[in-house]
Amino acid sequence: MAEWAQRDPVCVIPVATLEDHGYHLPIDTDVVIAETLADLAVQRCEGRALLLPTVTHGYTPHHMDFPGPITIDWKTFVDGLLDIGRSLFRHRFSRILFVNGHGSNVPLVEMAARLLMVERPEATAASFWYLSGPESAELLRSTRDSDSPGGMAHACELETSLYLAIKPELVQMGKAVREIPDWGSENVWMDWNDGPLSVKGAWSGWTESGVMGDATVATVEKGRLWLDRAVAEIAGYIDELAERAPRPGRDHHEPPWEEPR
């Protein structure tokens, strides 16, 4: 580990949650997807990145009406991520990339990454929600078959296709459904990138099956296409973080101060 730390690799940490994914997908969907994407990207960036074990449990209190999800209190979850980062810093690693596979983790993983950089200004910690960058969003837009917005939110065309590309034997396509809520708003909707106004609440208030989207149009071919893009996206972020110079800033309580204008 000391030798690895001297190389200053990007520590890649998949973060997920256990959560219901309709009748057709396994409960570990977010875990399997985040871990597979991160693993393949790290293999592509050999020597520049180190894959850490997946943080399996995340934040999902709004799913507890459905059988199976395990949710971690938001503060405990953020604190756990902070402790993982602090431990890595103690061992002289300085670059962390959280690969997040669960939508409701997004603000919390980002918070952890921010706080790690506040605590350790010479280090870099970043987080992202897979397939949400501009190039990925454009690929999804141009290759999806489901309605937009709404067809790609949860246990949907996207997640089902990805799981089909990874472990097809565990997907029960005969049980796949299409369920897109009536949003009742121009501003509130959920898709891979959500609408501008965030109104969440109980998941069971939006969907009967737990699916939000159209799982019936998922295919292994689309899964492979999107998986390749997701791996390339992560590999690109690893390359960037591996080269990124720190911007620790400086304490403006000390001189030199700027001349008053």
Distance in angstroms (rounded) separating the CA atoms of residues 69 and 207: 16
For Zn ion, which is the closer residue by CB, 30 or 157? 30
For Zn ion, which is the closer residue by CB, 29 or 100? 29
Q: Which two tokens stand for residue 200?
A: 């969440």
Which region, judged by CB under 5 A, interacts with Zn ion, from 4-12, 157-165, 167-175, 186-194? 157-165
CB 92 within 8 A of CB 152: no
For Zn ion, which is the closer residue by CB, 85 or 210? 210
Q: How far is the CB of 124 from Zn ion (least distance, A)?
A: 27
For Zn ion, which is the closer residue by CB, 17 or 124? 17
Distance in angstroms (rounded) separating the CA atoms of residues 44 and 31: 20
CB 23 within 8 A of CB 178: no
For Zn ion, which is the closer residue by CB, 29 or 94? 29
Distance in angstroms (rounded) separating the CA atoms of residues 50 and 96: 10
Three-state secondary structure readout of 212-242: EEEHHHCCHHHHHHHHHHHHHHHHHHHHHHH
Among positions 206-225, residues that touch Zn ion (CB under 5 A) are none
- Residue 30 in the binding site for Zn ion (CB under 5 A): yes
Q: How far is the CB of 29 from Zn ion (least distance, A)?
A: 5
Which region, judged by CB under 5 A, interacts with Zn ion, from 55-63, 154-162, 192-200, 205-213? 154-162
Which region, judged by CB under 5 A, interacts with Zn ion, from 5-13, 48-56, 159-167, 219-227? 159-167
For Zn ion, which is the closer residue by CB, 89 or 226? 226
Q: Cα–Cα–Cα angle for 126, 74, 91, nearest 5°? A: 45
Q: How far is the CB of 21 from Zn ion (least distance, A)?
A: 6
Distance in angstroms (rounded) separating the CA atoms of residues 76 and 170: 31
Which region, judged by CB under 5 A, interacts with Zn ion, from 36-44, 137-145, 151-159, 240-248? 151-159
Contacts by 247-256, CB closer than 8 A, 24 or more apart = 247/121, 248/121, 248/122, 249/121
Residue nearest Zn ion (C-beta atom): 30
* Site size toward Zn ion, by CB under 5 A: 3
Q: How far is the CB of 183 from Zn ion (least distance, A)?
A: 20
Phi, psi of 134, rounded to the nearest 5 degrees: -55, -45
Among positions 54-93, residues that touch Zn ion (CB under 5 A) are none
Structure-token match 């190039």, residue found: 135
Distance in angstroms (rounded) separating the CA atoms of residues 107 and 190: 16
Which region, judged by CB under 5 A, interacts with Zn ion, from 29-37, 58-66, 88-96, 224-232? 29-37
For Zn ion, which is the closer residue by CB, 120 or 154? 154
- List contacts with Zn ion (CB under 5 A): 29-30, 159
